A and B are shown apart, each in its own frame.
Chain A
């Protein structure tokens, strides 16, 4: 079993819909990252969380440490949000990150 599980693997939605992508992990962590990989391949760091909630524009990330679960929400989705969203966790006492396999999001105009 992977230490980091993302769901769904693929998500297609209409423009304007509210999007939720989930990430579950099985070990104690010091931080969780959400990354966005564009169709061209570049990877951008969206959020880093160790507790609570963060918001940037239309993106919201939450984490529940007790339940070992994080969600990434996108409000008023737009075709330019189409990308692969990747969750990664940093294990306690470790400089390395463990990555999920990503959620491919497609927003249809």
Chain B
């Protein structure tokens, strides 16, 4: 069966510090991968998605970036965090055209 992991689970960072969040998927090959952010406990905003190694599509302009160095690894990064980057970050995977399955999430607080 497939599983998706995210770490860390929680993170408190000062404004201006760098960020690296990691997501890995087990039990499948060549998944589509997604990063979402959920602010203030409400709707989800798609940040990035990837259909293959090194292929990243950005959905919104921001100071975040994503990379996919391996087939089942997806990384979300920032060089300098802003207060507005606080939120709940969710990674998801899917087979093409099929429902997305979400990881446990990382709660980021920027102070």
Tell me whether A and B are bound partners. no
> A residues engaging B (CB < 8 A)?
none
